[in-house]
Amino acid sequence: MRDLRSYQVAFESKTVARISTLIDDLEELGKSRFGYRVYTSEIQGCLMGGLLLAAASVSYALLELFVRDLDVMYIIALRYGGDVKLTSRVERELETDRKAGFSEMLKDLQQTVVEVADADKLRDFYNDTRIPLAHGLVRRLTKELPEEFDDMFARIARRGKLEQRFEGEAIGDVEFVLMMMKKYLPWLLRRYSASDEVQI
């Protein structure tokens, strides 16, 4: 295991600035009423320690939670007249419905909540980044390496390519997740603030 070093020591100044901005944005996002604090704190801790792959991984889970929250509120508005007291019930229904995956939730949302272009970006991000990483499908993440290199050297090359990918793209992945959340969080907050039952 490598020693943890502060991101301010581990990275060059441009990367430090990007990470600092993310840490601040995560602090603000963690203050929302939706229970994101545990995720945002974990991502902050990973970023502060220079653990970019870990930060990206937790941000993927946060994105899935956020999209599900959007879909829960969409269903409540559509079927139950916006009664947020039914949030837990609708969450349970979604979590037990095997057909209610990420792509299906986006289909619901792109009709009224999420712009079609954003839904496409989210779907591509999920398919091209989150799924391969979560399932250890390294070949998908390093697909530019030729298939005929399938020996020990290919494994070394893949490992190196994967490290380069995460050093270069993990921060961008976290930025993408936060950008989408900041864009659509106001919609979610408006639905909850319309209820007398929920204090924001």
Is residue 47 domain-resident?
Answer: yes
Task: Look at residue 185 in the predicted model and tell me its pLDDT.
Answer: 94
CB 195 within 8 A of CB 78: no
Q: Residue 199: inside a domain, yes or no?
A: no
The residue segments making up the domain with residue 76 are 7-193
Task: Report residue 63's pLDDT band, with 50, 70 and 90 as the boundaries.
Answer: very high
More reliable by pLDDT, 191 or 60 = 60
DSSP 136: T
Q: Rounded CA gap, 174 and 116, in Å?
A: 21
Residue 198 lies in a domain: no
Q: Give yes or no for residue 10 having a pLDDT over 90.
A: no
- Domain count within the chain: 1
Among candidate residues 196, 175, 190, 176, the one with its CA nearest the CA of residue 32: 190
Residue 46 lies in a domain: yes
For the record, the structure tokens of 162 come out as 């994967």
> What does the pLDDT read at residue 145?
44
- Structural domain contains residue 1: no
Q: Tokens 């979604």 correspond to what residue? A: 94
On whether residue 2 sits in a domain, the answer given is: no
* Backbone dihedral region for residue 77 (phi beyond 0: left; psi -120 to 50: alpha; all else: beta): alpha
pLDDT in tens, 69-115: 999 999 999 999 999 999 999 999 998 988 888 999 999 899 789 99
Q: Does 18 map to a domain? A: yes
Locus of tokens 């712009």: 115
pLDDT score, position 34: 79
pLDDT tens, residue by residue, 126-185: 988 876 676 555 554 445 544 544 554 455 445 555 566 666 688 999 999 999 999 999
What pLDDT sits at residue 191?
Answer: 85
Say if 23 falls within a structural domain: yes
